Amino acid sequence: MAAQSDMGGRTEFFGPVVREPNEPVFHEPWEGRLFGLSWFLIPLIRGQVDAVRDAQERLPREVYLSGYYRRWLAGFETLLVESGYLGPDELDARVAGRSSAAGPLQTSRAKRALQTSRARRALMSRALRVMTRPVLPRWLAAHVLPLALGGSRPTLQRPRFSLSDRVRVRAEQASGHTRQPGYVTGKPGEVVAHLGSHVFPDAHAVGRRARPQHLYTVSFQADDLWGGTAEPGTEVLVDLFESYLEPM
């Protein structure tokens, strides 16, 4: 069964893109506050975006589809409860004005985690001060930020595929969070770019250790994806990790 987040390329979700004239950056003030808070929440909860995506994908369908920032809010709440920062009913209780058990932060293990989180907060604060400068030094943007804040990671493993190689996306999707879209699963394509090695999000999202993987841009022909109903001569480019691909 496809994950509720896996809507790309699926014909049942095709439709016109509705453009809102003069669309604001945020439709409600709380959306902007949540966006700002996210920079400080992420270092507290595993320190990475993949975990937030995984938490959102585990939400009830009606919550997931209720709106972009509502999904963010519910995902952060889920992770804060799972990390012990909040009790299971703490936020709802505070909104309702009633008492509730707080998260189990008084245990020795949680105290050590809190100390780690304080160090993360200090590091993130320094990083944010640098990032809010009008112009970042070129060496910092090119070499430091992708490693410190992004997913770029070095690896000793050689790339399995080269440019122009014909490949097929593996026939199954991994359970849980994955960056393998359902609509290209099992489909043939051609490697057109190698994007270096990166953190593997399927493992990263759940805190599982895994070697960095090579990332490729793969070109697909539209008729291979959607058959005769596809627009003729259309090419679709998708970035895919090495373990998603098989040689043809």
Element (H, E) at 216: strand 213-221
Q: Answer whether residue 245 shows pLDDT above 90.
A: yes
What CATH number is given for 166-247 in this structure? 2.30.30.50
Q: Quick one: which of 34, 108, 107 has its CA closest to 75? A: 34
- Express each pLDDT in 219-237 by its tens digit: 999 999 999 889 999 999 9
Class of domain 11-148: mainly alpha
C-beta contacts of 157-161 below 8 A and 24+ residues apart: 157/197, 157/211, 157/212, 157/214, 159/194, 159/214, 159/216, 159/242, 160/214, 160/242, 160/245, 160/247, 161/191, 161/194, 161/214, 161/216, 161/242, 161/245, 161/247
Backbone angles phi, psi at 64, to 5 degrees: -60, -40
Q: How far apart are CA 120 and CA 122, in angstroms?
A: 5
Q: What is the DSSP string of 160-190?
A: S--TT-EEEE-SSPPSSS-S--GGGTT-EEE
Q: Is the pLDDT of residue 108 over 50?
A: no
Query: For the segment 25-78, what is each residue's pLDDT rounded down to a tens digit?
Result: 999 999 999 998 887 788 777 667 888 999 999 999 999 999 999 999 999 999
Closest C-alpha among 143, 120, 103 to residue 40: 120
Domains 11-148 and 166-247 share a fold: no
pLDDT over threshold 80, residue 131: no
Domain residue spans of the chain: 11-148, 166-247
For residue 133, name the pLDDT band (cuts at 50, 70, 90): low
